[in-house]
Amino acid sequence: MAAASRYRKFLRLCQKWPLDDTKHGRDLAAHIRERVAMAFKHGDNTQIADEKECDRIYDNLQKINTDYFKNKYPRLYDSTATERTLEECRLMVATDSIQELEDLSQGTFSKMKSAVFSNDDKS
């Protein structure tokens, strides 16, 4: 398979992979787009050093994108270890929610960190 066709396959994968606006700077789709852009700097003309590795990476990303393992190994229960719904889990990992938690706990955790690290310096 030529580098041009591999490049087009990765572009199609990136188009299918949804961006998650709630995860600013932490979105897997954005990270994959950046990595594809770096790997194929010259577009169709990029020389691929290890074609087997390139195909392996594509196949693995495609499996993630198509929920291959989710469908292959269906869950018996629709719950999580946290006993939260999918929507609640999405809300908890959203960048805005994480920032709110950090802002709320800034005083407590920064005091604890400074106390721990200041005690380590005295030893």
Tens digit of pLDDT for each residue in 64-81? 999 999 899 887 766 667
Q: Are 32 and 61 in contact (CB under 8 A)?
A: yes
Q: Give the angle 31-35-38 at the CA atoms, nearest 5°.
A: 140
Amino acid letter at 32?
I
Residue of higher predicted confidence among 41 and 121: 41
Mean pLDDT score, 84-103: 78
Name the residue among 32, 57, 41, 40 with its Cα closest to residue 5. 40
Q: How far is CA 14 from CA 5, 19, 34, 105, in A?
A: 14, 9, 10, 37
Report the chain's mean pLDDT, rounded to a whole number. 81
Name the residue among 84, 85, 97 with its Cα closest to residue 24. 97
The torsion of the CA quartet 12, 94, 24, 55, rounded to 10 degrees, works out to -30
Split at pLDDT 50, 70, 90, the class of 61 is very high
Return the percentage of the chain with pLDDT > 90, whole number. Answer: 33
**DSSP notation for 44-81:** GGPPPS-HHHHHHHHHHHHHHHTTHHHHHS--SSS--T
Identify the pLDDT of residue 59.
Answer: 96
Top mean-pLDDT range of 25-34, 55-64, 86-95, 113-122:
55-64
pTM of the model: 0.64
